[in-house]
Structure 1
Amino acid sequence: MMRVVLILLFTMASTLSIDNGEKIIARQGKVSFFSHTSVEDIKAENNQVFSIVDLEKGKVAVSMLMNAFIFEKALMREHFNESYIESDIYPKATFEGEIIGFDSAIKGEQTRIIKGIFTMHGVPKELEIKTRIENNVSGYVISGEFNTDVKDYDINIPPLLAGNIAKSITINFRFEYRPYDD
């Protein structure tokens, strides 16, 4: 597991092309999703999400292992990984983008748009996400919420189960960053 973590961190750092800028990293970010239908609610949380930010350039990268989502029911997790996300074929989701108008010198809170490409189930999609950025004594915290449509990522839901899964899924995230040392 530690080997996978190190590979993901190296990949994210090299993907961002971060040179001499100040970098911050979140090693245990949290991403959760929620699907509400009249039949059932489905929610899951992943606490093994990695993110790195270049404070000078405002660039951000996120990588998460899809099979790390925890569900209330084991059967939901099995269906999620085997039938919908196909985590054996598409083991991770990634986001690469830029924080628009970001100023790392601002202390306290700022609201910004992060614009970039979110890739899940092998399908890239451009997103603009309203985020809350807190710069406090212990570091940076970036959090937010967005909705995304299941159909945008070529996820096939069998007609028999279509009523159990919402067409639009709400995704929440929270990353607590600390300084990143090369």
Structure 2
Amino acid sequence: MNKTITLILILIVRIGCAQEPDQYITRQGQASFFSYTSVENIQATNNQVLSIIDLSKKEIAVSMLMRAFVFEKSLMEEHFNESYIESDIYPKATFQGQIQDFDPSINGEQTRIVKGQLTIHGVTRETEIKTKIEKTGRTYVLSGDFELRIKDYEIKVPPILARNIAKTISVTFSFKYIPYEK
């Protein structure tokens, strides 16, 4: 009898240890944006995006420092941080949302809608983003792209420069998640 109880306890512990974790994290996710203008294209990349997903709740949270965007030209970076995004006042952009109809047990690729609150420049707006989710072993990669309008986030463009700044910005992202070890 004692051997049976011991065997059952060992199996329960092994099964418990073999379960997939609920939370996954990335500390080096990538977000980029691109803006086409007749004068000069504007492009920047941030490779320091922090994000966590909770598979049991199908929730996602993303946080990025705006000063971590790297531009080809330092003057563009300066204008972005000082004149448009005002990084000293609004240092971060964040997103909190739900992954719709997501099944974390499926290996391979799924395309899902992520709905949530995107905050940029101190303005929060409801956003839906079509996202590709790839599961390979114990990692998940979430990637996608979307458009945002700068006026929706109250980003002011001086009238003299209005023709040189696109009204819509293309944003792309790719986050590779690993199990979160507490």
Bin for the TM-score computed over the shorter chain:
0.7 to 0.9
Query: Which residue is 1:179 aligned to?
Result: 179
For the pair 1:123 / 2:123, whether they are aligned, the reply is: yes
| Displacement after TM superposition at 1:91 (Å) | 0.3
The one-letter amino acid of 2:131's match is T
CA contact (8 A) 2:138 2:179 kept: no
Partner of 2:76: 76
Q: Which runs of 5+ in 2 are unaligned?
A: 1-20
Separation of aligned partners in 1, 2:164 and 2:92: 24
User: Which blocks of at least 5 consecutive residues in structure 1 are unaligned?
Assistant: 1-20
Q: CA deviation at 1:176?
A: 0.2
Structure 2 counterpart of 1:95? 95
Q: Deviations over 1:99-137 (max 9, x none)?
A: 000100010000000000000000001100000000012
Choose 108-117 or 159-168, whichever is displaced more: 159-168
For the pair shown, which has the larger CA radius of gyration, 1 or 2? 2
SS at match of 2:166: coil
Deviation at 1:138, TM superposition (A): 5.1
Instruction: State how far apart, in whole Å, the 2-side matches of 1:82 and 1:126 are.
Output: 26
Question: What TM-score does the superposition give when structure 2 sets the normalisation length?
Answer: 0.88
CA offsets 1:125-178 (integer angstroms, 9 cap, x no match): 110000000001251000000000000001100011112211000000000000
Q: 2:151 aligns to what SS in structure 1?
A: helix
Q: Which amino acid aligns with 2:90?
A: Y
* Structure 1 partner of 2:37: 37
Counterpart of 1:148 in structure 2: which amino acid? Answer: L
Q: Is 1:160 the equivalent of 2:160?
A: yes
| CA-atom RMSD in angstroms | 0.8
Length-normalised TM-score, structure 1 = 0.88
How far is the alpha carbon of 1:96 from its aligned partner? 0.1
Aligned residue for 1:118, secondary structure, equals strand
Runs of 4+ in 1 over 2 A off after TM superposition: none
- Residue of structure 2 equivalent to 1:150: 150
Tell me the alpha carbon deviations over residues 72-116 of structure 1, each in whole angstroms, 9 at most, x when there is no partner: 000000000000000000000000000000100010000000000
Matched length: 162
- Work out whether residues 100 and 115 of structure 2, in 8 Å CA contact, stay in contact via their aligned partners in 1: yes
How high is the sequence identity, in percent, across the aligned residues?
62
Alignment of 1:67 onto 2:67: yes
SS of the residue corresponding to residue 90 of structure 1 reads coil
Contact kept? 2:35, 2:165, Cα under 8 Å:
yes
Q: Structure 2: how far apart are the matches of 1:118 and 1:97?
A: 9
What is the match of residue 53 of structure 2? 53
Paired amino acid for 2:31: V
